[in-house]
Structure 1
Amino acid sequence: MNAALTVNSYFNDQVKSIALDNAEGTSTVGVMAVGEYEFGTSQREYMTVVSGALTVKLPTENDWKTFSKGDLFVVEANQTFQVKVEETTAYLCRYE
């Protein structure tokens, strides 16, 4: 059984993701263009940088931190976080 893939677009098509459900749960795989963004969470999110880098200000932190390819950060549910993207970056976001 094949489920349809859902494509999401945010910030005037500057961030796009494709949602998927599999044995690991619900995830999105996406790409962010160069820019600055603020995201809100409804579930805990595990963000892994696949290619490029994200500079992130987490809700519990005072300082910005850069996450590069292979790095993971977690944002709890019902939080907002800010992201700066200096080169087009791909990510995997797993929801829990």
Structure 2
Amino acid sequence: MSEFTNVSVAKKANVYFDGGVTSRTVVFADGSKKTLGLMLPGSYQFTTDTVEIMEITSGSLLALLPGETEWKPFEGGMQFEVPAHATFKMDVKSVTDYICSFLPVS
């Protein structure tokens, strides 16, 4: 899918790490949410509230996912899932475009 239809977009950007990571929140008619964002090269750590699926649309990074001891590479066309209430790290190697989908906690 190259575009989303029938959505609302928050005007205010989500800005993290002094602008190293930015995104906009997109809300769908069914109430589900995604963020569309951009990460500049650097190291970042996030903690999730809900299950998140990170889809990398372009760029490249290494991710250290919860419970893992080895960093895994991801690039455009790949995705990974992070459980709710978990911390994960990313070492972004090049400017990276992403979509983060937030799933309901069951």
- Taking structure 1 as the reference length, the TM-score comes to 0.92
Q: CA deviation at 1:23?
A: 4.5
Is it true that 1:39 corresponds to 2:51 in the alignment? no
Partner residue in 2 for 1:66? 73
Task: Kindly report structure 1 stretches of 4+ aligned residues shifted beyond 2 Å.
Answer: 1-4
The residue matched to 1:12 in structure 2 has which SS?
A: helix
List runs of 5+ in structure 2 lacking aligned partners.
1-5
Q: How does 1:49-88 map to 2 (within 5 A)?
A: 49-88=56-95
The percentage of aligned residue pairs carrying the same residue is 35
Is it true that 1:8 corresponds to 2:14 in the alignment? yes
Alignment partners' CA distance in 1, 2:56 and 2:100: 9
Judging changes above 3 Å, is the alpha-carbon distance between structure 1 residues 93 and 2 closer, same or farther for their aligned structure 2 residues?
closer
Is the contact made by 2:7 and 2:28 (CA closer than 8 Å) also made in structure 1? no
Instruction: Tell me the matched-pair count.
Output: 96
Alignment partners' CA distance in 2, 1:76 and 1:38: 14
Partner residue in 2 for 1:94? 101
1:33-70 CA-partner distances (Å, limit 9, x unpaired)? 01000000000000000110121000121100011111
Alignment partners' CA distance in 1, 2:66 and 2:18: 24
Is the contact made by 2:7 and 2:29 (CA closer than 8 Å) also made in structure 1? no
List runs of 5+ in structure 1 lacking aligned partners.
none
Q: CA deviation at 1:86?
A: 1.1
What is the aligned-residue RMSD (CA, Å)? Answer: 1.7
